[in-house]
Structure 1
Amino acid sequence: MIGEPEIDGGWETAEQVREAAPDLPDERVRAPRRPWWWALGGMVAASAVWAGTLAAQDRFADTPRMDYRHSANLCRDAPLKLLGEVAGKAFEDNETSRGESPAQDWASCRFGHMYEEESASYGAHVLVELHKKTDPGPEFATGPGGGSTYLRMDPGERREVPGLGDRAVLDRSYGDDGDRLTVLDGGAVFTLTVEWYPGEGEGSDAEVDVDAVEAAMIEDVRALMAKLRK
């Protein structure tokens, strides 16, 4: 324990130190305070840098992976060559559109065939959505799909497509007159919807090889993904 004489003695003031040693420069008396203030300043600066680093990491922690570029002309980038071969004639693009925003970029193209009474006709719609801030995974393939046509998809006919993006699903519509393929890969979502209309004339070729259509859809979307990959 500290004895009474130590307490009674008290602490010497700066003035008493100068009186005891008049030749001692003033800086010698004040010097011990400077390192403390500089150390505090360094700690504050380091804390600010660390906080900024953590804030930057938090801001980008949930940003989805983006491996694809925004298409300037999706009709050109997605010619649907294999689907055209299955249909027996090349698709004609008749509508292209695109948009950009801080949260999402998107591009769209519609394809079709001139109606012919004695042969099946096809229509197709391609949509590419690039989600730049929010991960689309939790809501993937839970709704009707952006840019969807009048098709009503049958939940009982859904099947997973392996080896395409992070996840891919193929939905068949009620009545077997259309299919929709949806692919999730990081922050990108690719959707291809195809409809067909059997010919009506006598002796028309009304049969549609659905398996061949679905195989062509998968490969045409795979080719589109390769085309837009950065």
Structure 2
Amino acid sequence: MISEPEMTGDFAPTDSREVMDGFGSEPAGGSGKHRPWLWALGGAVMATALWAGAFFLYGLGDRRPDLHGYRLDKNPCPSLRLKSLGAAIGPREKADTGPRFLNHAALDQARCFISLRPTGAVDQPGKGWSINYGVGVTVSLHKESDPGAEFEALRQVTDTGIDPEAKLETVPNLGERAYLLTGDDGSSELRVREGGAVFSLNLYVFTQYMGDGPDEQPDGEPEVPKASAYHSAMISDMRDLMATLNH
């Protein structure tokens, strides 16, 4: 938050005769009294004229946000790389793209969900528990309104709702503002804002049981790895995504 500048030191009173000399004096033979309210009125008129000109040119609170060169010319999901997460977890599987690409005068947005196949996994797993990894990516380019206030307001909101216990970590040197949000379910989300461009990368880790039927009672559920173990890889892949979309 930007605060008012602190004012220090003493200010000597200004001699009004110096300020007004040659500008506000009465002509010879007059009363000799100055009329400072005329100068205040003149200043107010000037300020109003300048403000009105600025409003005409830019509008009031309606200046378009700077997208810093980011563009969504097409759906980026099919070619999204995720090199670092792929190296740490396993190669990506086919992206679930679907109709998740929006081009609008006010907002361009793309949403992707990609499954990662852990190293050592087989194509047709047998019965039992498996650990699965999913990556959700959202890119939003706000072309009409600045998303800064909304970005800050959602700091404690995860996919499952408002989570005041979620762990929040600031990420330096990434966009204008960036932070990692770790929910109580162990998932992690990296959010970045740069002007009107907002990026999100979610990493989900979950278990799945493959059995013979719905009545089968599974046991021995494996411990789910924490997504926080992959924060460095998430940051690296986010930088790669942002560089890809910056033209």
Residues in 1 aligned to 2:175 and 2:150: alpha-carbon distance in whole angstroms: 16
Give the match for residue 143 of structure 1: 154
Give the match for residue 133 of structure 2: 122
Shift of 1:120: 2.3
Give the match for residue 215 of structure 1: 232
Shift of 1:226: 0.3
Shift of 1:210: 3.6
User: Does residue 1:171 correspond to 2:181, yes or no?
Assistant: yes
Over the aligned positions, Cα root-mean-square deviation in angstroms equals: 3.3
Equivalences for residues 179-190 of structure 1 within 5 A:
179-190=188-199
Equivalences for residues 1-230 of structure 1 within 5 A:
55-58=56-59, 62-67=63-68, 68-96=70-98, 97-113=100-116, 117=128, 119-143=130-154, 149-150=159-160, 153=163, 155-176=165-186, 178-198=187-207, 206=223, 208=225, 210-230=227-247
The residue type equivalent to 1:101 in the other structure is H
- Scaled by the length of structure 1, the TM-score of the pair is 0.64
Structure 2 unaligned blocks of 5 or more: 1-51, 210-217
Q: Is the contact made by 1:151 and 1:173 (CA closer than 8 Å) also made in structure 2?
A: no
Shift of 1:72: 0.8
Greater Cα radius of gyration, structure 1 or 2: 1
Report SS of the residue matched to 2:59: helix
More helix by share: 1
Residues in 1 aligned to 2:73 and 2:199: alpha-carbon distance in whole angstroms: 12
Residues in 1 aligned to 2:102 and 2:156: alpha-carbon distance in whole angstroms: 17
- Scaled by the length of structure 2, the TM-score of the pair is 0.60
Residues in 1 aligned to 2:165 and 2:147: alpha-carbon distance in whole angstroms: 20
Instruction: Give me the identity figure in percent.
Output: 31
Q: Is the contact made by 2:204 and 2:227 (CA closer than 8 Å) also made in structure 1?
A: no
Cα-to-partner distance string for 1:4-44 (whole Å, 9 max, x where unaligned): xxxxxxxxxxxxxxxxxxxxxxxxxxxxxxxxxxxxxxxxx
Residues in 2 aligned to 1:87 and 1:142: alpha-carbon distance in whole angstroms: 32
Report SS of the residue matched to 1:107: strand
